[in-house]
Structure 1
């Protein structure tokens, strides 16, 4: 990787243009060490079975990405890869037969690369030791550790997979949250939870030090805290500057959506807007405030884009609600005013006159019709087929958190049955990932010819981590629409 950075480009101006490069992180041994007593502190709702996630679920994700993004690494080799006797593990970055793709890029590999530099190894070992409260002797031991092994330690928290020296960072599989590509810039996150501090540190070192990002060093944007924030009373709790990638969507070349949510504060959104306008990255930013609830977490858990004119969305936050006598009463305005969905759009050319939208549906319709120039009416596919209680149940298991590999071709969990019905009602073909992979390998299917398709991914364990494939991807390069 270190010597192959020539002509490495990044550019994302859409959520649905054909995906060409992305960052992922394959599930590491740290996921298998999450204990019930610490699960919520580490932002997991449950403990997961590591081997099932790796072999039966995430492995299919990696293979599918390879067929679309880097087919030379997999086409004609599937039988060999799947041969249990060969022990060829596509999903393990430290395995000798790992794919090492420059299109489906593994974070652990990038970290290993930069740790080859002794100076960076010393600095990062010191920084991690400071965050985790390690002894000085342990810090020196890490400096002398092999770079590939040290990368595993920094991510999993374990020496030799057995002796834990600090907590794992299981949320690193949700790579979108560490940063987001906006045109030719990368906006780094500022996490709301302490559990994500180490992964943020590691990604900062990768983006600023890895050769593949060398040409973009001046395009990496970091969100600062407000001046003298440490002197302000209550700052730690009530006025923090936080922003995570799941709350940022690049919907057109000059327009970014930023969510205010459980994880992204108004202060964080405000600082991001300043950075984006001052650096001439976009012309327009729309802030979407959703209820500050664990159920939602980020805006990409309640809506994502499927086509120019098609979005999947949770109905209860999509529009101005009318009470349905057949369903439990819900109040739009809670006593603490945290249940309101508000939308404000800022234009760089006229900051003094922000535009308001009455609903998320109105905003998305405006994007489809007036920015993406859709020739068809805007359509909304509702979580759970817009039927209670399936809408809420399936949103919880990421029915709205879909990754578009190209326009109209999206990945989602196989467990969201009612949402699948809704896709079928809107004319989408539905296929299981195992069947599609076999068809791509045999030549029966061609990635260029696949259209309007929901690809169902196995989800028994992955869904328990509370994040879908939109969360598990950090696109670096997409085709323009």
Structure 2
């Protein structure tokens, strides 16, 4: 039986992947409000789009079908005539109060004839200057904030709003309001798109604890790894594990406790699987990393136990191997390791066992990958990396070959 979603590993040959081409939302980033929108810098849109287009072309040259988030959402809306329903749901999460601004923004979107362009506009946000009327409230007159509706500049990191695993999806509740709005697009894809509606959902966006896709890694058809991080709560892992054990073949969730800070925002910024027995890792997390095993208990409950021993031994046991190799980002050079981890040297996208896509700027780590027998495809990422994400962050696999 074929499934529209089939992801039983991090390394099976990639056949279908979803991206989002950076759009005008990046041009709505402003220095004074970068922290609010979870950015450290402002990418140059034209260059970021070229880098992203080159990334997509590389994937296609490797035999990967590339889907785009914005197109899938538009197709889902059109397929079931849900334009006004979608706009109403999107409006409800903008923070706009009922009144003239609310009505004007909704009318603007409703008047757009092309659904695809309408979807892009919801991602771009609305400046106050686009919706002109006489204000009669103190809040608006006293505020210097230039937006009625915030942009969604993080959307090109498609890894986070949801995560594919097995034949289903974890539709996530995200860490910040800025990004939680992104998950509405996933809801429409998996509940209304002709090809993807009816996909099993192992987590729902209206849950009250946070989880993000950068923390969710499919180690094998039986084992999921999830980071307890700045962006993912331990209670979310318990909820996800209960659903997986009830509905899928997963038998264990390994929870990795990593530092709760911006530097290590997701598990996949410090740890990715690149071959049957090889992983990239940022050396800073190794010493104090705690790992917990979540397994099925009785009556639909779960059991949580701390795993003792070295990380490589824990991973080897989980994968049924004698040993695994950890390839350290930056090698043994603490300066190179810190610099290249910041530039996502450990955030690799595996396209087949032992074959990965990486940023060309991480020269020390890339050399180590080659020395360890890994085939690398290098992409330019000088603008894309300003959002603090690498090739894995920018991609959401829909189909991988089973291994």
Please give the range of the TM-score, normalised by the shorter of the 2 chains: 0.7 to 0.9
Give CA-to-partner distance per residue, 1:414-444, whole Å, 9 cap, x none: 11121123223324xxxxxxxxxxxxxxxxx
Q: Decide whether the 8 Å contact of 1:343 with 1:359 is kept in 2.
A: no
Match of 1:477 in 2: 399
Q: Do the aligned residues in 1 keep the contact of 2:158 with 2:394 (CA within 8 Å)?
A: yes
For the residue of structure 2 that corresponds to 1:389, the secondary structure is helix
Q: Where in structure 2 are the equivalents of 1:74-473 lying within 5 Å?
A: 103-116=65-78, 119-132=81-94, 133=96, 134-146=101-113, 147-158=115-126, 166-214=149-197, 216-217=198-199, 219-223=200-204, 241-318=209-286, 320=287, 340-348=288-296, 351-352=302-303, 354=305, 356-368=307-319, 370=320, 373=321, 377-427=323-373, 452-473=374-395
Shift of 1:301: 0.5
Task: Report the CA distance between 1:117 and its aligned residue.
Answer: 5.2
Q: 1:60 aligns with which of 40, 48, 54?
A: 54
Could you report, residue by residue, the CA deviation over 1:54-103 in whole angstroms, capped at 9, with x for unpaired residues? 12x11210101111235xxxxxxxxxxxxxxxxxxxxxxxxxxxxxxxx2
Shift of 1:466: 0.1
Q: Distance in 1 between matches of 2:184 and 2:304?
A: 37
Structure 2, gaps ≥5 residues long: 132-146
Cα gap change, 1:117 to 1:224, in 2 (>3 Å): closer
Alpha-carbon distance in structure 2 between the residues aligned to 1:474 and 1:118: 24
Secondary structure of the 2:366 match is helix
Between 149-158 and 282-291, the greater mean CA deviation after superposition: 149-158
Provide the C-alpha distance between the structure 2 equivalents of 1:224 and 1:63, rounded to a whole number of angstroms: 32
CA contact (8 A) 1:191 1:263 kept: yes
Quote how far apart the aligned CAs of 1:400 are: 0.6
Q: Is the 8 A contact 2:355 2:376 kept in 1?
A: yes
| In structure 2, distance between residues paired with 1:421 and 1:7 | 38
In the TM superposition, residue 455 of structure 1 has moved relative to its aligned partner by: 1.4
CA 1:258–1:8: 2 relative to 1, 3 Å: closer
Return the alpha-carbon distance in structure 2 between the equivalents of residues 242 and 466 of structure 1.
Answer: 20
For the residues of structure 2 that align with 1:267 and 1:254, how far apart are their CA atoms? 21
- 2: distance between equivalents of 1:123 and 1:225? 17
- In structure 1, stretches of 5+ residues that fail to align are 1-5, 71-102, 227-239, 321-339, 428-451
Aligned residues: 378
Give 1:49 shift: 0.5
* Alpha-carbon distance between aligned partners in 2 of 1:353 and 1:171, rounded to the nearest angstrom: 33
User: Any idea what SS the aligned residue of 2:25 has?
Assistant: helix
- Give the match for residue 16 of structure 1: 11
How far apart are the structure 1 equivalents of 2:304 and 2:87?
48
SS of the residue 1:468 aligns to = coil
Q: What CA RMSD, in Å, does the superposition of the two structures yield over aligned residues? A: 2.3
**Residue 69 of structure 2 corresponds to residue 69 of structure 1:** no
Tell me, yes or no, if the aligned pair for 1:223 and 1:272 is still in contact at 8 Å. Answer: no
1:325 is aligned to: none
Whole-angstrom distance in 2 between the partners of 1:367 and 1:295? 27
Change (3 A) 1:112 1:158: farther
Q: Is the 8 A contact 2:221 2:249 kept in 1?
A: no
Deviations 1:361-385 (A, max 9, x none): 33223234x1xx47xx422211111
Structure 1 residue aligned with 2:22: 27
Secondary structure of the structure 2 residue equivalent to 1:380? strand
How many angstroms does 1:162 deviate by? 7.4
Partner residue, 1:91? none
TM-score by length of 1: 0.74
